A and B are shown apart, each in its own frame.
Chain A
Amino acid sequence: MKNFLKLTNFELNRFSKIYITLIGLTLVMQTIGMILLSSSYMSDVEEQLAMGNSMEWITINLGTFSFSSLTRTFWFGGPIIIAIVTLLIYVFFIWYRDWFGKNTFIYRLLMIPTARINLFFAKASTIFLMVLGLISLQLVFILLENELLKILVSDAFREDQSLKQIIFNFDYMGVLYPNSIIQFFINYGIGFMAVFVTFTGILFERCYRLKGILFGILFAGVSLLIFISPILLQVTILNEFFYPIEIFILMAITGLVVISGSIWMSHYLLNKKIRV
């Protein structure tokens, strides 16, 4: 356990530069976006006021300014997409970087006097913590940017939104910030399960190289089949036999089966088949 924590800490530190860059990029781009959009809106408003139009006329014809005016633009969504793509790439890179170059760090990692599955858990935890960290920081940023909005746009032209409205008004944020705690566990459970299965696939490749890619894809395919087997049964032979809640429970079970299978397989590969 102590070694697992040390390894996780080590992995987090290794990614910290890129991670801090991602956080900085998000904050800077979203703030700049907010300033640019709101000032261009306000200058439009002032132009209209100078032309003698009434405030009502302006709010009807130009519309009011709300946080959603920002979230619909690349200034807001861009850094989120960049962060998601970076983390997706890092799911692979977190393993492959240990084999790269002449200084192959994987020698050292595999010779640490600890269960090798701890490497797997440490890398997985690193990804999870990074994702959850970005998600929660983004919430803080939204609140901060909302305060900024209140300074930049005067009350008359501003439509204040609650955090919930901001998220609700922005489609793919609904996936990142689900409405209910159950939905949260479903979304992130599936996400983390996918990370586990991908890790096992990577280990297959690392153990068997070219042939391993095939094994990895096969493993992922079988995992997917197991996971969605309740739905497959439901729509085929069972003919809508289960209630939705039963499907949910069954899929929670098959999800756990997939995760355990992935951990067991990775444990086996790391101990018996891995090569430097």
Chain B
Amino acid sequence: MIEVKDITKKFGRKKVLNGVSFTANKGEITCLIGINGVGKTTILNAIMNLTPINSGEVLIDGEKIHKESYEKITFIPDAITMLPQMRIADAMQFMADFYQSWNQVRADELLSFFKLDPNDRISSLSKGNTAKVNMLLGLALDVDYLLMDEPFSGIDIFSREQIADVFTSHLVEDRGVVITTHEISDIEHLIDKAVILNDGVVLREFNAEDVRENEGKSIIDVMREVYQA
């Protein structure tokens, strides 16, 4: 379980996160929803210790993040994190060199699933294919938790469909996934849990099926409700 406990974060005088708490379970897809600039990316960065927080803490299976944690949790940012001059094969080699959890069989499977050519240079890829390589590099790690920042934004519809397919496949099976989005409708039926953010606080954290069953509301209904309150 990933536990985010009351984290605050200031950029200069501006409070970006103002006491954010939520949990994300293994085997579930948790979605952080909020308009742009609400601090979703900052939360993911904070979980990965890629940015300092002013207070609060993040626990991964009860532990604070340390160097071995990166074999257990990985982050797929909204832009690719490899050098543009690298070929896809070089990028995979880099991962294999540094991560014990790198699973080459799965990487090869993903290559063919996404129809990517390992000899292509990253700088020469389309937006959609760049996003797919980015996904591949994270998904091919045998980690328990995957964080993804806006995996669907700014790419073509077919790439989007392919990436959505990943969520229902064995590639994320039994893992804990946290994704951020500002556009929920594409993935409404994919997620287990929604965490609605605004102004640096969690407005509501709920299980999507429970809300449909008990309140007869869609995720967007709940959003409308909490944003207008």
Interface on A for B, CB 8 Å cutoff? 3, 6, 10, 14, 101-105, 107-108, 110-116, 207, 271-276
Interface assignment of B67: CB less than 8 Å from any CB of chain A: yes
> Is B98 a contact of A114 with CB atoms below 8 Å?
yes
Residues 44-102 of B contacting A (Cβ, < 8 Å):
45, 48-52, 67-71, 74-75, 77, 79-84, 94, 97-100
> Is B50 a contact of A107 with CB atoms below 8 Å?
yes
- Compute how far the CA of A107 lies from the CA of B79 in the bound complex, rounded to whole angstroms: 10
A–B Cβ pairs within 8 angstroms, 9 of them: A102-B79, A104-B77, A105-B82, A110-B50, A111-B75, A113-B71, A113-B99, A274-B51, A276-B45
Interface assignment of B122: CB less than 8 Å from any CB of chain A: yes
Q: In the assembled complex, which residues on chain B have CB atoms less than 8 Å from the CB atom of A274?
A: 50-52
Q: In the assembled complex, which residues on chain B have CB atoms less than 8 Å from the CB atom of A115?
A: 67
> Is A113 a contact of B51 with CB atoms below 8 Å?
no
Q: How large is the interface on B (under 10, 10 to 19, 20 to 34, 35 or more residues)?
A: 20 to 34
- Compute how far the CA of A101 lies from the CA of B81 in the bound complex, rounded to whole angstroms: 10
Q: In the assembled complex, which residues on chain A have CB atoms less than 8 Å from the CB atom of B83?
A: 14, 103, 105
Residues 140-198 of B contacting A (Cβ, < 8 Å):
none
- Compute how far the CA of A105 lies from the CA of B52 in the bound complex, rounded to whole angstroms: 18
Most chain B Cβ neighbours within 10 Å, of A101, A105, A111: A111
> Is B52 a contact of A272 with CB atoms below 8 Å?
yes
> Is A273 a contact of B52 with CB atoms below 8 Å?
yes
> Is B82 a contact of A111 with CB atoms below 8 Å?
no
Nearest Cβ on chain B to A97's Cβ, whole angstroms: 9
- Compute how far the CA of A107 lies from the CA of B84 in the bound complex, rounded to whole angstroms: 14
> Is B98 a contact of A113 with CB atoms below 8 Å?
yes
| Chain A residue at minimal CB-CB distance from B52 | A273
> Is A103 a contact of B71 with CB atoms below 8 Å?
no
Give me the 4 closest cross-chain CB pairs, A-B, nearest first.
Answer: A113-B70, A108-B81, A107-B81, A275-B51
- Compute how far the CA of A111 lies from the CA of B70 in the bound complex, rounded to whole angstroms: 6
| Chain A residue at minimal CB-CB distance from B83 | A105
Q: In the assembled complex, which residues on chain B have CB atoms less than 8 Å from the CB atom of A104?
A: 77, 79, 81
> Is B80 a contact of A103 with CB atoms below 8 Å?
yes
Q: In the assembled complex, which residues on chain A have CB atoms less than 8 Å from the CB atom of B80?
A: 103
